[in-house]
């Protein structure tokens, strides 16, 4: 992980620790004396020595060296060489870029030459949701090697930290121009909120839940998907199927619901985990050593 703006010890490390990262598996290159560039041989050397599977370089404009990031003839040779490193080592390289504040097509909003966007095989655009300041939206804007994935939302707040918040149909242009409210609200998220409100005081017969969902315009397929994402239990009592929320978001034993589907212990959507920060190792900036 190479960052050209934030302090490793004051900013990056605390964030990693808060998310429960194993800092023994995270490395950085000491570039205090010799500035790191994309063509620097230390990048491939460190990938090989640490057996890294992922390199994150942030921000994209900080490591061009003497190359002109605003010109095609400055961008293409540099990124071609970096791509060759990724291919030789089998390591994924992610470049994090900033966007211009001015509006317009999302494709042209990145700082530097459009060839940065063109050279990348996959581009993810991240923006803030206009309906909630804690929610961000990731749109798979470009994908040369595989089908594009659906847009995803995630949250960042002081209580839950990082958490996934479901799919959305917002586009990159809508996200970048603050117009994603023009799209329908995410159906799965609506269904999850509905289920939580119905079950907050205890178990409810599944037939009643389905009837109420239909009245709220929630399709049964959407309801079942939201149920699975929330790890909702199905229990049969005196011949009647009930739904109930799991305790503190943890799935329990294998049970069979009224549709004959099995839900296994621990199989549920991502949840935020609390960790003991005192058990995490200290970090220091030394080439080839752990952070």
What is the residue extent of each domain of the chain? 124-183, 187-263
In order of 40, 88, 247, the CA distances from 287 in angstroms are: 14, 21, 44
DSSP state of 200: T
Give the closest residue to 229 by CA, choosing from 251, 262, 261: 251
* pLDDT > 60? residue 260: no
Which of the residue ranges 67-76, 83-92, 267-276 would you say has the lowest mean pLDDT? 267-276
The fold of the 187-263 domain, in CATH, is Arc Repressor Mutant, subunit A (1.10.10)
More confident residue, 170 or 41: 41
Q: 291 preceded by cis ω (within 30°)?
A: no
More confident residue, 244 or 269: 244
Q: 10 Å Cβ neighbour count for 183? A: 14
Entry pTM? 0.59
pLDDT for 204-238, tens place per residue?
A: 999 989 888 887 778 888 898 889 888 898 888 88
Strand spans (E) along the chain: 2-3, 54-58, 92-95, 122-128, 135-143, 151-157, 161-168, 204-205, 233-237, 240-244, 255-256, 262-263
In order of 154, 192, 215, 232, the CA distances from 128 in angstroms are: 10, 21, 32, 29
Q: What percent of the chain has pLDDT over 70?
A: 77
* pLDDT > 60? residue 169: yes
How confident is the model at residue 179, as a pLDDT?
60
Say if residues 61 and 112 touch (Cβ distance below 8 Å): yes
């Amino acid at each position: 992980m190479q960052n050209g703006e934030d302090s490793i010890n004051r900013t990056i490390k605390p964030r990693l620790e808060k998310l429960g990262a194993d800092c023994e598996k995270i490395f950085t290159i000491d570039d205090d004396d010799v500035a790191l560039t994309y063509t620097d041989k230390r990048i491939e050397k460190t990938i090989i020595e640490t057996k890294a599977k992922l390199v994150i370089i942030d921000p994209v404009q900080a490591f061009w060296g003497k190359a002109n990031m605003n010109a095609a003839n400055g961008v293409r040779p540099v990124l071609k060489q970096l791509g060759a490193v990724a291919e030789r080592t089998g390591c994924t390289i992610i470049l994090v870029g900033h966007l211009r504040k001015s509006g317009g097509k999302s494709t042209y909003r990145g700082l530097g030459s459009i060839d940065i966007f063109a050279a990348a095989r996959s581009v993810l655009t991240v923006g803030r949701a206009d309906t909630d300041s804690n929610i961000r939206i990731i749109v798979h804007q470009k994908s040369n090697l595989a089908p594009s994935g659906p847009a995803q939302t995630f949250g960042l707040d002081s209580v839950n930290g990082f958490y996934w918040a479901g799919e959305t149909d917002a586009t990159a242009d809508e996200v970048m121009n603050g117009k994603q409210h023009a799209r329908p609200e995410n159906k799965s998220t609506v269904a999850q909120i509905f289920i939580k409100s119905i079950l907050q005081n205890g178990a409810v017969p599944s037939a009643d839940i389905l009837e109420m969902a239909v009245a709220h315009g929630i399709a049964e397929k959407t309801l079942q998907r939201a149920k699975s994402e929330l790890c909702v239990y199905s229990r049969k009592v005196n011949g009647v199927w009930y739904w109930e929320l799991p305790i503190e978001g943890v799935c329990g034993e294998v049970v069979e619901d009224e549709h004959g589907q099995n839900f296994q212990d621990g199989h549920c959507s991502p949840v935020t985990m609390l960790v003991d920060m005192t058990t995490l190792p200290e970090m220091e900036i030394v080439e080839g050593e752990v952070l």
